[in-house]
Amino acid sequence: MDDNEKYVLALHLISGIGAVTYRRLMSKFGTPEAVLKAPAEHLLNLPFLGETRASVIERGRAAALDKADEEIERAKKEGVEIIAYTEGRYPAPLRSIYDPPLVVYMRGKYAEEDAIAVGIVGTRRPSVYGMEAAERLAVQLVGRGFAVVSGLAQGIDTSAHKGALKGGGRTIAVFGSGMDIVYPKENEKLASTIVERGALITELPFGTPPSKESFPRRNRLISGLSLGVVVVEGKENSGALITARFASEQGREVFAVPGKIDDPRSRGPHLLIKQGAKLVEGVEDILEELGPVADFMKPKPQDEKGDEPKGEAENVKEAGTVSAKQSSKEQKKSTGKPLTGPERAILAMLSEDPVPVDEIIAETGLSPAEVASHLMVLEIRRLVRQLPGKQFVREAKSAEET
């Protein structure tokens, strides 16, 4: 981390500073360093902070800077990356949620193609049916090129991660604890395997134990990293339904696997279905709802030489890692299908000046979920770029695509 990112980490370590407050502080002071060095009276005069939070920042900033140095040093020793919100390698899907973490701790690698992901969550005490359903869906999803996101908990989460690995795909596990505390402990071996084929992610500092407060906040990251979330078994008040609620609020799709009508673990998914969640019997139900992203990932037809089509995962990887040496014609070929009507309409709205996502939704008449899905495709194709604050600009080369 450079000095600026260390200052972001320090702000992250001060209680009460999230992404919304951070953006307001930046609009006032310009840089994280300026916030941490601002006179106390300047902080106290900010109405959006209030006296209490201003005092917390003023009293805690020296300790937060020392703690940031300790976190950075420990991360180096333990092979963990600390990635600030201001960095380009910060997981792109998290930027679009209302309150993304200012930093994420990561072990393993979050690859570009991991932006195409589906979350699978559910009860810690599943039935055999539930475990089999979660594993089967994960296998099917990675076979279509998706990554699978879950929370490494016992039960459905574990089955989802194992299914993704069994299918030869990638999976992301989000912790509700510090990176040095694998919870539950019996999943330590699974966590080590995930590091080789995906990533472990948390927003919590080293040494933070799992708690009732940390898991709901963890759940917003599971949904935030996903295009949609599938709930496989869970009671009406379960954490899985909290994740589904976050998904809905973030403009992600919500899916639910039905179960036995007399099983309490079916009540959560059945409630979601009554509220409009997509009923899932197989991966095709998920692909159908995700629309343009799923369509973009369909295998290419055989070429004139009769070569076999590439798998979906390879198509996405190729689309997202076009060599700078390729001509625009080769870039267009590597990304596969031509732009759809909605994609062209969104692209036509954009220029080098940032456009808020709310304006895109209003101008196109598309739903928030549709806009998010189309924008994700355009980002994968390197035609648009997202800026902080859910704003988008058009990449210079995109004129060649239209």
**Phi, psi angle pair for 276, to nearest 5°:** 115, 0
Reply yes or no on domain 3-79 having CATH 1.10.150. Answer: yes
Distance of CA 265 to the CA centre of its chain: 26
Considering the domain 109-290, what is its CATH architecture?
A: 3-Layer(aba) Sandwich (3.40)
Strands 278-279 and 228-232 turn out to be unpaired
Average pLDDT estimate for 97-118: 93
Q: How far is CA 38 from CA 3, 4, 159, in A?
A: 17, 15, 49
Amino acid at 51: E
Domain boundaries, the chain: 3-79, 109-290, 299-401
* Annotation: CATH topology of 299-401: Arc Repressor Mutant, subunit A (1.10.10)
Confirm if 378 and 357 have CB atoms less than 8 A apart. no
The pLDDT of residue 47: 84
Q: What is the pLDDT of residues 327-351, one digit of tens each?
A: 333 333 334 568 888 888 999 999 8
Q: What is the pLDDT of residues 238-295, one digit of tens each?
A: 999 999 999 999 989 999 999 999 999 999 999 999 999 999 999 999 988 886 776 6
Unique residue bearing structure tokens 């600390």: 82
The 3-state DSSP class for residue 237 equals coil
CA atoms within 13 A on the CB side of 277: 26
Unique residue bearing structure tokens 């998904």: 247
pTM here is 0.78
Same fold, 3-79 and 109-290: no
Q: How far is CA 342 from CA 292, 315, 366, 370, in A?
A: 9, 22, 8, 9
**Phi, psi angle pair for 224, to nearest 5°:** -65, -30
Confirm if 102 and 19 have CB atoms less than 8 A apart. yes
Distance CA 82, CA 367 (A): 34
| Sign of the Cα pseudo-torsion (95, 223, 78, 33, in order) | positive
Average pLDDT score, the chain: 85
Q: Which residues contact 374 (CB under 8 A, 6 or more apart)?
A: 292, 340, 342, 343, 346, 366
